[in-house]
Amino acid sequence: MPLRLAIGFAVTAVGAGFVAWRAAFLVRLALAGREAPGRLARLPRQLWAEVTDVFAQRKLLRWSVPGVAHFFTFWGFIALLFTIVEVYGDLFYRRFAFPFVGHTAGLGFVEDFFAFLVLAAVVTFAVIRLVRNPHERGRESRFYGSHTGLAWAVLGLIFLVIATLWLYRGAQYNDGTFPYGHTWWTFASHGVGLALAPFGHGGANAGIETAFILAQIAVIWGFFVLVVYSKHLHIFVSELNVLLSRRPKALGPLATTPNMDPEQISEEDVFGAGRIEHLTWKQYLDFYSCTECGRCQDQCPAWATAKPLSPKLLIMNLRDHLFASAPALLGRGDGDAKGHTGISLVPSVIDPDVLWSCTTCGACVEQCPVDIEHVDTIVDLRRYQVLMESSFPTEAGTMLRNVENRGDPWGLGSSHRLDWAEGLPFEVPVVGDSIPEGVEYLFWVGCAGALDERARRATQALARVLHRAGVSFAVLGPKESCTGDPARRMGNEYLFQTQAQQNIETLKGVGARKVVAWCPHCFNTLAREYPALGGDFEVIHHTQLLSRLVSEGRLRPSAPQDRSVTYHDPCYLARHNDVRQAPRSVLEAVPGLTSVEMHRHGRRTFCCGAGGSRMWMEERIGKRINAERTDEALSTGADVVGVACPYCMIMLDDAVKERQAAGTAPEALRVLDIAQVMEPSLGEMPPGAPQGAGP
């Protein structure tokens, strides 16, 4: 007994020493990052995320087979914590059992049952990895680029945890020291005990028990050591990462807002991230948490269209560079006294084509089971390139200059802001010094809605529909300017904040209270990002308003439409702002209209390719993202591709026309906004009806 006790504690001391040393190193390294304020700003919501995403495994259960296997593994290891206590208790006393419950069969059954589930999960994971072998499937495998060797090692260790557990319990069963007695409730331990019965009920089984108790302790600590030194570190840190994540509707989408006040900026200020030390401790925690599962990569529109951006590989490369830079960051190696590494992240670690391929659609963040914020890091890298290095795609420079000098990405200027209203059968009030009395909504038209020919037609349709419903609205006209969204996604935070402050001042000056926007990018910026700069307004998307008008009976679609529509969810509406049902409820209200969903829809929608300022950058690598999405829409056989975003309208309409020119799309196929789809079902509008009249 003293010998096995000594061996057990020696193994424990060695394993715990390695784990403690590594844990202390990881904590010191994480704290070397910049501050990340506001990470517990909405603790109740974040605690609920901990419950749903960690304990209920919400995100993982979207994938039925691997999700269920991971669920079993997670809860299996929680249940098996009891067996770890038991194995150490057995070092002291061979008949150790938990007081009160330890001698009842119920706990033994729970332990055996969850051990069996974990073993089944290990087999499932092994099969999945064989089927999705990246060496055979290449980029099509979500494990492409992952450290698959270590994954196999961890699966092997998990198997050994279960095997050594059952072997020493089986020996106890024969030796008469099994705390749960001779019962089939402990079915696995009982079965192994029967297999070991030929070794007798004395010394042989006692020796087997001792050997496998020590083996169990060695395997457990070997597992812990491998975890803290590998990508499986997520087992210990992902729970904290989920708790501190930005979360939709918690800290705002993509809403890191550095201080850009010219009076407070010094020459030493660094905007964005150009070197590893410019990233925050939360971003370091993101790197620690990556499981290399590849679900972000699987859903990324850039990766799906043969571009070099893989969100997973981007995080992995930054993590590898973080660990390589640890001596400098901690002041023990190459680097100056302040922990500056001197190594540029772009292009030394991240290739420029990787950086500029991102559409900021957020599919990676949405799919990540541990809530890594890939897009925030990408935007930080872009900020440094734009603001500190003046390095960005040439064609995007024209867009930035147009926003700065003319107030819109196209450079058409404020004089064209009201061109869209020409030909309407009613007058659209334009705000002067203040919003006219009796006007309920300020209609934020947006640059695309006012200046692009196709989007203008949708803007007109929306105006007519609102007019029919008796909604009183006015527009800013020449006073409206770009919200700054394309500049922010591009990385020009200074231009974004300049535009934002100008628009906030305008909106406050005219007394705006309720704003309706039909562009999700404008909607997102006005509603979710302006508050950080002092602009708090009640903002609604036009599909939300239309849905409300239908439910209130102010819009009554009655003329049947014998056609089918497939609705494309805009990323900045469905994913970043969780507006999914409102546009569908509008379509459902149209009699005769048949809706058919694309394979990827709702929060799993596939980007049109325009976000992240990609609208103004050439797409030279791989297949065009808008073509990929259009092909998916064509596969539904629908007559209409319904949209709720001018960017999506432009991108998908371009791709549809290309397909029509090639003869691979029906000539009658149209890309229409939700308001355009609905309007014909309302019948003809009474000529000259004053705004505010009911339908």
CATH number of the domain located at residue range(s) 554-682 in this protein: 3.40.50.10700
pLDDT of residue 693: 36
CATH architecture of 403-550: 3-Layer(aba) Sandwich (3.40)
pLDDT of residue 689: 46
418-466: pLDDT as tens digits: 999 999 999 999 999 999 988 999 999 999 999 999 999 999 999 999 9
Rounded mean pLDDT of the chain? 91
Select the highest-mean-pLDDT range: 37-46, 324-333, 413-422: 413-422
**With 60 as the cut, is the pLDDT of residue 338 above it?**
no
pLDDT of residue 247: 60
- Cα separation, 195 vs 301, whole angstroms: 53
**With 50 as the cut, is the pLDDT of residue 691 above it?**
no
pLDDT of residue 690: 44
* 455: CB partners within 8 A, 6+ apart: 448, 449, 646, 649, 650
570-614: pLDDT as tens digits: 999 999 999 999 999 999 999 999 999 999 999 999 999 999 999
**With 90 as the cut, is the pLDDT of residue 557 above it?**
yes
- Point out the least confidently predicted range of 55-69, 455-469, 493-507, 648-662: 55-69
**With 60 as the cut, is the pLDDT of residue 306 above it?**
yes
pLDDT of residue 253: 47
pLDDT of residue 505: 97
4-31: pLDDT as tens digits: 889 999 999 999 999 999 999 999 999 9
**With 50 as the cut, is the pLDDT of residue 81 above it?**
yes
Query: How buried is residue 303: exposed, middle or buried, by Cβ count under 10 Å (0-12/13-18/19+)?
Result: buried
| CATH 1.10.1060 intervals, the chain | 268-394
Closest CA to 142 of 287, 353, 366, 300: 300
CA angle 512, 517, 518 (to 5 degrees): 165
Per-residue buried b or exposed e for 435-446, using 16+ beta carbons within 10 Å of the residue's own CB:
beeebebbbbbb
Q: Which two tokens stand for residue 238?
A: 């992902």
367-404: pLDDT as tens digits: 999 999 999 999 999 999 999 999 999 999 999 999 99
C-alpha distances in angstroms, 135 versus 45, 138, 147, 302, 553?
A: 41, 6, 12, 21, 58
CATH number of the domain located at residue range(s) 268-394 in this protein: 1.10.1060
Averaged pLDDT for residues 72-91? 91
pLDDT of residue 339: 59
109-121: pLDDT as tens digits: 999 999 999 999 9
% of the chain with per-residue pLDDT over 70: 95
* 553: CB partners within 8 A, 6+ apart: none
| 692 vs 246, residue with greater confidence | 246
